[in-house]
Every structure is written in structure tokens, then in C-alpha cells.
A and B are shown apart, each in its own frame.
Chain A
Amino acid sequence: MRVVILLAVLAALVGLATGPGCSQAPAPAPLTQVVALQTSSVPEGPADPAWELAPEFVAKLLLQDLVEPRQMETTTVQVRVRALFDGTRLAFRLQWADATQSDVPGPARFCDACAVQLPARIEPTLPAPQMGEPGRPVEITYWNAGWQAAADGRGDSIRDLYPNAAIDHYPFQAPALEKGSPAQEAMALRYSPARAVGNEVAGPHTQPVQDLLAEGPGTLWPAPASLSAGRGVHSAEGWAVVLVRRLPHGLSPDLGTQVAFAVWEGGHEEVGARKMRTGWIPLVFQQAP
């Protein structure tokens, strides 16, 4: 009998320990701010285990429905963000669900993309979250899946985009021109107007990211130098993209600032103003525990 009672007591204790009302540690409250942890160096790839040190912030995405052309349909719902900094560089890892890898551009084919936005100046009040406002710029670090494919080695020709394309002839590849000669390269450049005038969008892309400034919708312009780096990897879960940029001018870790994010899903023809985005989110800096 004693044995039976003892077993019953033990069973009850086990039940208390494993039952629904028991003692699982309460789930941590969702973060209300992006916390950038200080590390000795920031990782440049999304799979680096260092990212697990940083707490994850889940940013709900909003429609860009303030300026035409507007995003009228909710696509990407949220982006998961982790942040690390090493004293001079600030790195974000953005992850979002996207079943399709859209990295081949075409007349009606758009590339997946994402961006991180920070105020260009540390001021008591913030510029408008929608890409800043006149006289109050924001800094934007933009990553593009098509540029990533190019940086990963995809060639710079129409056949790299359309493998079955039939090409007759390019004037700048005439046999009379020595391939790779200054004259030949200068001629080839003239046949690519956007490249010839130095439009960074036009490539060729060795980096998947571009640093930009803006003072409101439609005002985006390239930063004097594009210093940021990045890398994106697509998997069954979607995209994981790392964006590494310098700390904004005048920002010290004890100050903190605000940050905003945007995601474009190429498969839904999202480009430019057609995007999912956040408002400003507090960004604080902490020492790693």
C-alpha cells in the first residue's frame, strides 16, 4: 500500500511538473525596439552563428499607401530583424518569407529587394519615416536580389538573363576592334548610356547593395560613395539578407536612434514606391552579455 501511495504522489508531482499549468518559463515579451549588440566584428553572411546572440525583432510591415503608385495589396507581412555592431560598423540581418527567388530582371520581371533606413542626422525630432523630408535627409542602404546574382557571378550579357537569346552582332565587338583595348571598351560603354553617365543602378554589379540618400518620396539619390556591403541567401524559408553599413554620422552607441525597413517582393511586381515598409522603430545599442 505504501508503495502505491508513493507512486501516486510521484505521479502527481510529475503531472504538476509537466501539465499545462506548470512551470514553463514565460515567453519573453516581444521586443519593442531593435537591439544592436556590440561584438568584436560584425558577420558578413546571414548564416553566421554570431547572429544568434542578437535578440530578434519582428517588424510588422505596412502598405506603402501614402504616395502614388501605392501598394494596394499586403504581400510580405513581417520582417525578422537582428542587429550587431562593432563600434564602427552596424549590421542588420533581415529575414522574410518568400517562396519565390526573383533575381532575373525583365520588362515585367522584378527583383526581390530590401532596405534599411536611418536618419542622416541625429536630431531631437525625426524626419518623416517615408524616406525623409525636404532638408531632413535619411540614409538608405538598399539590397537587390538581381545585383546579388551578379555579384555571385552571373554574367553581364543578355544570354545570362535569357539563355536562348540569339545575338547577331554588337558593333563594339567587331573583329576590327581589339577586345579589351581602351578604344573597344570606350565604344562598348557608349552603347550602354546609363553606364556611360555613371548611373550606379546600371552596373556591372560587384556589390549587391547601394548607399542612398533621400529627402522624401521620389527624391532618392546615390550617396557620394557606396561603402556598405551585404549578402543575401534564399532558402525554402525565404530570404536572409545581411546589410553592413557604417554608423550614421554623429551617432554614438549611448544615444540610439531610429530605424525603418522596407521589403519588395519581385514576384508581385513590387518596385520603387510599390513596397511593404515600416515606420520608425527605436534602435538601441547594448553590450553583449
Chain B
Amino acid sequence: MARVFNWQIGRSMSYWYPESRPKRQFAAVFDINKCIACQTCTLACKTTWTSGKGQEYMLWNNVESKPYGFYPLAWDMKLLAMLGPQHWNGKEYAGRTLFEAAPAGQRVLGWRPEDIDYAYPNVGEDDCAGGVQQGAAMQVPHAAWFFYLARICNHCTYPACLASCPRGSIYKRPEDGIVLVDQKRCRGYRECVKGCPYKKVFYNPVCGTSEKCIGCYPKIEQHLQPQCFVNCIGKIRLAGFISTPDQADPQNPIDYLVHVRKVALPLFPQFGLEPNVYYIPPVHTPVPFLQQMFGPQVAEAIKTYLAAPKDPDLAGLLSLFGCTERLLVRWKREGETITGRDPSGSEVVQIPLREPVVIREAVDPKFQVARVNCP
């Protein structure tokens, strides 16, 4: 085991390979508050990549309701129970990562789902936690709550799938950090299926190899955002590249949201993989639950997000979500205008901070009649 630095847990940790960060790291921000679980992302991915034999059960992208939804069943709860206590000292994780908690003879602490665990991708949909007592009133956080968690491969900086593979069949692309299974080298040992805590590597029983989200790398290479991003009806997603905190660039949209404003947080940072999909946590959910899921900075992130209407920079950048298929790696706000540029430096989008609003008076002054919205 090598020692590597994981900024998400504020300390160095053990990992199977030495630290080797790509030239650029693919990353994304998902604004959970805007997700309606329409599953358009799921279908966009499904029809693009997993329509083949042996891929029938695979959802490289899925949306599950939390706290009672899982795909596969109990993917997170099972591992959290195996990992044991997960304490933080401020921003430094004091517990063990999955690499540090690996049992004797194993590379990673993990478990392998059974067939049946994949059979209920929409289990727990819209099931509420908590209850409503007599006299309850609407408040934030809500007394009864659930939220939608859209998930893809996190293209982790320290992938457990990659560490688990005894053949080195999984690699991280140096040009963009996308994690891929080499389909020629894989022999279907399923160590990656066991090792990935997010359960985003899938075994194809017809082909006998493991397969996973490829970050739509053919699109990334053309400076386009992945299918699940551009088909998102709620415009909750933004793809780009992330720097390490010491190299954070405020003009990089992902850096600004993650490092500068700290409004987007990694999923289960305590696992130690440095996942690169970041979530703006749901504002209506009790903080203790979210802390376990997104780490100790949840309350601050929610506070920042709730103040966005009076924060033109944050509001402006959030408006860039879902506004173009092009990959945005630079952004700028000038007055009421937000611009975004692609990796070639070209300006590809320009949007107003506030959409123009025209108010039609309810009463027609000329005819002195009330206007109605139906014929």
C-alpha cells in the first residue's frame, strides 16, 4: 500500500497505488434540489450504452429515492454497517477508509451484490422518512422528507474498482481521469463489482466481463457533456473538470462550486475514494442524515445555497446548468450576463442572470374585462 493525499477527508491515507493524478479530472455537480426523478437521464444512458445482451439489468445511471431507495438493494447501508463508526474531527476524517479497513487478504472492504439485489431499481420510490404529527406545519428541514439521488460512476481519484482488480484491467485515463474497464483484458473476476462502494461496476453474464459508466468519453473528447447531463429535464447537472483545492480556479465552474463556494459535496467522502461527482445537498432534509452522506460541511453548503437568490455569482453559475450540450470549463459574470466557454476557449453560451419577465395585467384596460387563460 502507498500513502496518498485525499483532500476530501483532509489527510493522507493508504491506497493500493501511488498518487497519480490525471492532467485533468472529469467532474460533475448535481443539484439534487432540482431533481424530479423523471429518469430521463437513466433512459438516456440506457439507450445509448447498455442495450446489449447481458446488459439488461445494468443502469450505469440511476436515480433512487433516499432514504429508502437503493440500486442495488442497500448498497450504501450495507457498507456503512461493515465500515463501522465514521467520525470526523472537523474537516479531517478520523475513521477508516475502505482501503484502510480491508480485511486480511483483501485489497478493499467491499461486498458483492446478488442477482436479486439488482431486481428492484425503483424500490423505495417517494417513500418518506419521518412522520407528520398533528399540528405540524411546513418548515425547513421538513418533518417528513425524501429526496432523489441521481448516481453515475464517480470516476474517483482513488477508484476502489481499479485497486481491486488483480489484473490491472481497470485504468484511469491520464487525459481526463475517466475510469474504464479494458474490455480486452478483463476476465470477469468481479473483484471490481465487490470493491466499488457505489456499486457502479456491473458484470455482464453473457460476455463474462465487467462493464461500467464510461463518462461518455467519446463526447468528452469532442467537448460535449455526457448523455445523462444533456438529457436532464430538470437541468440539475453540469460537467467539467476539477482541480485540487490548492489549484482551484474561480473561473472554472466546478472549482467555483466545490472549492470556492463549497456548495457541492462528494458522496460518502469517508469511503476514501475521492469521488468526482459533487452534490448540492437537498435543503429540506435533516442535516444529520446528510452529514453521513456528504460529510461535515453539509450545513454550510445548504446555507450558501439558500442565499443564492441574493448572490449573483452563485445564482448566475447555477443558471448555466443544462443550458448547452457543450462542455463548459470557464465562466464569467459581467453585470446581468453570464458567459460560458468550452475547452477550446470559445464562448459557447451567454445567458441573462434573470430571465426577462413580462407581466400581463389581469384586467384589460381597454375593454375593462378580466383576462382569462382559457378560451
Contacts and interface: CB of A to CB of B under 8 A. Distances in A.
A60 interface: no
A219 B211 CA distance: 20
Contacts, number: 128
B53 A107 contact: no
Contact of B189 (A72, A107, A161, A272): A272
Contact of B208 (A167, A194, A269): A194
Nearest to A161: B205
Contact of A199 (B112, B191, B209): B209
Contacts of A220: 167, 187
Secondary structure class of chain B's binding surface, majority of residues: loop
Interface of A is mostly: loop
A68 B118 contact: no
B206 A157 contact: yes
A20 to B, nearest CB: 47
A146 B54 CA distance: 15
A197 B56 CA distance: 20
Given A201-B186, A272-B189, A171 B202 contact: no
B190 A271 contact: yes
Given A158-B206, A195-B207, A218-B168, A65 B105 contact: yes
B202 A107 contact: yes
B186 A191 contact: no
B166 interface: yes
Chain B contact-residue range equals 35 or more
B51 interface: yes
A14 interface: no
Contacts of B117: 107
A273 to B, nearest CB: 5
B224 to A, nearest CB: 20
Nearest to B185: A199
Contacts of A158: 53-54, 56, 205-206
Contact of B183 (A146, A156, A194, A218): A194
Contacts of A273: 166, 189
B106 interface: yes
A201 B208 contact: yes
Interface string B99-112: 00000111100001
Interface in A195-212: 195-199, 201-203
B361 interface: no
Contact of A67 (B114, B118, B166, B204): B166
26 contacts: A72-B104, A106-B203, A107-B114, A107-B117, A107-B190, A108-B114, A108-B115, A157-B206, A158-B53, A158-B54, A161-B206, A171-B51, A191-B51, A191-B53, A192-B53, A194-B208, A195-B207, A197-B183, A198-B184, A199-B207, A201-B207, A201-B209, A202-B207, A203-B208, A272-B166, A272-B187
Interface of A: 65, 67-72, 105-110, 146, 156-158, 161-162, 165, 167, 169-172, 191-199, 201-203, 217-220, 269, 271-273
